[in-house]
Structure 1
Amino acid sequence: MPIPEHIKEYVVKLLKDIVSIPTVNPPGERYGECAQLLEKELRSLGFETQLIRIPEDYLDRYYPYAPAHHGHPRYIVLARLGSGSPILHFNGHYDVVPPGTGWRYDPFKPVEEEGRIYGRGTTDMKGGIAATIAAFRMLIEEGFRPRGTLEAAFVPDEEAGGAGTRYLVEKGYAKPDHVVIGEPTTSSSITIGHKGLVRGVVRVLGKQVHGSVPWMGENAFLKAAAMVVEFMKSYEPLLRSRRTSAPVKYPEGVYPTINLGGLAESTSRKDNIVPGEFVFSFDRRVIPEEDLDAVIEELKRHLDDAAKKVGARYEVKVLSAVPPSLTPMDSEIVKVAKGCVEERLGIEPSIHMTLGRNDAVFYVRMAGSRAINYGPGVEGTAHTPNEYTTVEELVRVVEVYGCIIRRILG
């Protein structure tokens, strides 16, 4: 049975209301206003709600842009309906990346045009939040009451390492059996895990002198370049010798990868100076078969070997490390979600591990939950100018969410 017309109108209006609040991260603008709107909406449906404020000292440790969060309080909206087991938990993040330039419309004044809704966060991922609440409303209006517990957590800071969900799970506020995260997989795709991540910087040291007498100094940029060449000679073949057995969308996704130089800068920042320091970043993606600590030690060892070969002095700093996450294909939540997509949409969904990190890792690693990502969106529009989702995507996901809830808690 198709969803009622007023629910279609509701999900669109709710999305526009949420997008209209510019919850830009960093630094975390107007989080409280958005959290209060979401809490009010859930409370009106009969959920018990909590607004959980994340302590400043916790953010000092886990927010990568600290101290930019000071003066911008962070709130988690936690809502429950029913009691006991099983616990089915929906998660969504309400923070969005900065809008950037090149927009046809004001990114925080959503525009609906030819079935599309434009605005920052429409795809990533306020659309998932709106679809979650709309599915709840649809079921409650039908008289549905869960046999077990239906939960929702709407969190800040997924776009900056996931301190919101991390705090929620680490401090024991949520320990669900099954988790659906509304990240924009699109309505035809389910993701069951993600690669891990090791991010950091290498600082190569030289000797700064005037650019007219380079022989008196030591060019840190040239040392860094030579070090990178030597490093990749040994490290790239090592990565290509490993592959994951987890399903992936792209053939190259089976391998662990490293990206160097996303950040690359000289501290001198002037063309007539021989740079005394040069910094470059690394971004190492970790497959589920690898051990995170072993990856870090191996990475440092290869950097050290390369530095010795070219006579470079250097320092390395790991900025963040997140393990991979994977929910088995035969888990109940995976089988139910797959069945609901097939039943409600008439298609067989793509099921795979994603290559980028998301908040599933905290539920899987800290709470022992089974977690998937499934949410509305248009592929390729997240984080871009003129980001948009479609009304059709929202409606399709509301249908599937309703089916998942009925099957697990009905």
Structure 2
Amino acid sequence: MVKTAELIQVLTSEAIELLKSLIETPSFSREEAGTALLLEGFFQKKDIPFERLKNNIWAKNLHFDAKKPTILLNSHHDTVKPNKSWTLDPFRTIEEDDKLYGLGSNDAGGCLVSLIATFCYFYDRENLAYNIIIAATAEEEISGKEGLEIVAPLLPEIAFAIVGEPTEMHLAVAEKGLLVLDCIAKGKSGHAAREEGDNAIYKALKDIEWITKYQFPKVSPTLGPIKMSVTIINAGTQHNVVPDTCVFTVDVRVTDQYTLEEIISEIQQNIQSEVVPRSIRLRPSSIPIDHPIVFEGLKLGRETYGSPTTSDQALLDCPSLKMGPGHSARSHSADEFIYIHEIGEGIVQYIKMLEGVVTQ
């Protein structure tokens, strides 16, 4: 037990130092080459073989056995751009009162380094019931196509995944998917002063009214109802011309009760506007509430909930649990930070949960 405690302490210190380096290396989505090199260097220093595709890095445990099921540990190393409200240098780590400030510290650097430390803890362990793969991926913040989406097909079949996002180490057992729809209302142009034309704005308003009032009948026990929000609208060229086109965008947060195709069909049948989905990639995710990894988390006093936000879970075709150190409300905020103790506690909890599964 003493050696185990000492090892976790060393891994925690390494994780914090790695996080500082990641913060100080700009890694906006699609511009993560610098942090990818840092991650390469980390694994090289520990003599852990890894693979890289574009800005994605992944590695397998030393005694990987293709006959065994595999667990994926995944988080991202890209960040959003700092907003104008920052009062600190977003690329300079500042430690103050147990807080580590810096862009990406909370979302999702703390999660990533904690999962990397957890992987290192199990890396050379023999006789595990599962293989373990760590994947540090890119483009999560923009739901890009050159992050986890291009890595997943290269991995062995995944039994289940832990996706690192700041949840205060509570267990997000379900996550809403995302469907973005561009809707086009079509009318006929004419002079606004005369009884001419067919105003596309008025047609769009009728459709928007249906969207704001409609409730999908099936409600998810973990994620609640589907939520539709009209977030962008654009029409017209000048004040005296009746517009013949009005385009509006609908943000749909999808639950596990419907497929994306079913939702699109329901909307198409109830509005006049043409409905064009931008993508059907970001599907809802979940893991059974009685899954062994969830059970291990509950044993540690953690709570389960359904997450309204979307992560790389949406790209995985396996049961997945979203959890990690940090707080979701700090993500994308000015002067972003993570408590240093959250990283150590996160590593310990990840290890305890996996110990209960991989050593059975």
Q: Do these two structures clear the TM 0.5 threshold for a shared fold by scoring above it?
A: yes
Pair 1:231–1:377, CA change in 2 (3 A): closer
The separation in 1 between residues aligned to 2:356 and 2:134, in whole angstroms, is 17
Tell me the residue number matched to 1:175: 157
Tell me the residue number matched to 1:153: 135
The separation in 1 between residues aligned to 2:353 and 2:40, in whole angstroms, is 22
The separation in 1 between residues aligned to 2:126 and 2:91, in whole angstroms, is 36
Pair 1:384–1:217, CA change in 2 (3 A): farther
The separation in 2 between residues aligned to 1:146 and 1:108, in whole angstroms, is 42
The separation in 2 between residues aligned to 1:227 and 1:86, in whole angstroms, is 48
The separation in 1 between residues aligned to 2:50 and 2:39, in whole angstroms, is 10
1:333 to 293, 308, 312: 293
2:219 to 232, 243, 247: 243
The separation in 1 between residues aligned to 2:39 and 2:269, in whole angstroms, is 48
SS in 2 for 1:300: helix
Pair 1:209–1:350, CA change in 2 (3 A): same
Tell me the residue number matched to 2:334: 385
> Deviation string for 1:41-92 (max 9, x for gaps)?
1233232210123xxxxxxxxxxxxxxxxxxxxx221101221123222101
Aligned residues: 349
The separation in 1 between residues aligned to 2:156 and 2:236, in whole angstroms, is 44
> Deviation string for 1:115-142 (max 9, x for gaps)?
11222211111111111223344566xx
Tell me the residue number matched to 1:42: 43
The separation in 2 between residues aligned to 1:258 and 1:219, in whole angstroms, is 24
- Residue 87 in structure 1 maps to residue 55 in structure 2: no
Tell me the residue number matched to 1:117: 100
The answer on whether the counterparts of 2:211 and 2:228 sit within 8 Å (CA) in structure 1 is no
The answer on whether the counterparts of 2:204 and 2:246 sit within 8 Å (CA) in structure 1 is yes
1:317 to 276, 282, 299: 276
Task: Name the Cα RMSD after superposition.
Answer: 2.5
> Deviation string for 1:4-56 (max 9, x for gaps)?
5544432222111112222213xx12x22211211221233232210123xxx
- Residue 299 in structure 1 maps to residue 252 in structure 2: no
SS in 1 for 2:290: coil
> Deviation string for 1:134-169 (max 9, x for gaps)?
3344566xx744624221011112222253222222
Pair 1:100–1:276, CA change in 2 (3 A): farther
Question: What are the equivalent positions in structure 2 for 1:138-287 lying under 5 Å apart?
Answer: 138=121, 144-145=125-126, 147=128, 148-161=130-143, 163=145, 164-169=147-152, 171-187=153-169, 189-208=170-189, 213=193, 215-233=195-213, 235-236=214-215, 239=216, 241-245=217-221, 247=222, 253-260=223-230, 262-266=231-235, 268=237, 274-287=242-255
Moved more, 32-41 or 4-13: 4-13
Pair 1:125–1:146, CA change in 2 (3 A): farther
1:20 to 11, 24, 27: 24
Q: How much does 1:114 deviate?
A: 1.3
The separation in 2 between residues aligned to 1:89 and 1:46, in whole angstroms, is 20
TM-score by length of 2: 0.87
The separation in 2 between residues aligned to 1:120 and 1:220, in whole angstroms, is 43
Tell me the residue number matched to 1:375: 324
Moved more, 40-49 or 13-22: 40-49
Pair 1:36–1:145, CA change in 2 (3 A): farther
The answer on whether the counterparts of 1:193 and 1:326 sit within 8 Å (CA) in structure 2 is yes
SS in 2 for 1:51: strand
The separation in 1 between residues aligned to 2:11 and 2:131, in whole angstroms, is 23
Question: What are the equivalent positions in structure 2 for 1:58-69 lying under 5 Å apart?
Answer: none
TM-score by length of 1: 0.77
The answer on whether the counterparts of 2:183 and 2:247 sit within 8 Å (CA) in structure 1 is yes
Tell me the residue number matched to 1:101: 84
SS in 1 for 2:105: coil
Q: How much does 1:349 deviate?
A: 0.9
Pair 1:404–1:48, CA change in 2 (3 A): farther
Pair 1:272–1:156, CA change in 2 (3 A): farther
Pair 1:244–1:107, CA change in 2 (3 A): same
Q: How much does 1:267 deviate?
A: 5.5
Letter in 1 for 2:358: L
- Residue 396 in structure 1 maps to residue 360 in structure 2: no
The answer on whether the counterparts of 1:162 and 1:358 sit within 8 Å (CA) in structure 2 is no
The separation in 1 between residues aligned to 2:257 and 2:226, in whole angstroms, is 10
> Deviation string for 1:322-373 (max 9, x for gaps)?
332221111122223333xx1xxxxx1111221222222433x2xxx33211
The separation in 2 between residues aligned to 1:180 and 1:146, in whole angstroms, is 21
> Deviation string for 1:277-318 (max 9, x for gaps)?
322111222221223322211111111xxx3xxxxxx43211
SS in 2 for 1:320: coil
